[in-house]
Amino acid sequence: MTKPSKQLKTFPNPKKDRDYEINFDCPEFTYLCPMTGQPDFATIKIHCIPDKLCVELKSLELYLWSYRDEGVFHEDVTNRILDDLMKAIDPKFIEVTGDYYVRSGIRTVVNTKYEKSK
């Protein structure tokens, strides 16, 4: 049986001599509101230019799933996703955007990014 996991698996970049972009669109991200414990929803968008490693898709799915029962603030979880991906694949560039569903009449979008120094 497949279970959520915080482990991000990687594989060697098949074209490390070329810069190219990878985009992941995860429209079913679920987590808990840390204030009410109620489920909340978001679309997580990940845009990266890999260096030596790429993230394996199934492990990314299980990683995002691991937040389903965790109470987290929008700002924290978006930055945690960025930090964990940076540690796993050390990309040339990565941007994570959390587009959070309306809560109390307010829609929140959190954008965080990192770029390696050249």
Segments in 2-73 forming alpha helices (H): 57-65
Q: What is the pLDDT of residue 117?
A: 87
Map out the domains of the chain as residue ranges.
Answer: 21-115
Helix (H) or strand (E) holding 95: strand 93-103
What is the third-level CATH fold of 21-115?
A: GTP Cyclohydrolase I, domain 2 (3.30.1130)
Ordered per-residue pLDDT tens for the chain, 118 residues: 789 999 999 999 999 999 999 999 999 999 999 999 999 999 999 999 999 999 999 999 999 999 999 999 999 999 999 999 999 999 999 999 999 999 889 999 999 999 998 7
pLDDT at 2: 85
48 catalytic residue (yes or no): no
State the pTM of this model. Answer: 0.95
Distance between CA 31 and CA 34 in Å, rounded? 9
Distance set, CA 55 to CA 13, 49, 104, 118 (Å): 9, 11, 35, 22
The single residue of 17, 19, 25, 40 carrying the catalytic annotation is 40
Nearest to 96 by CA among 80, 108, 73, 107: 80
Judge whether 26 counts as a catalytic residue: no
Active-site option among 33, 51, 84, 90: 33
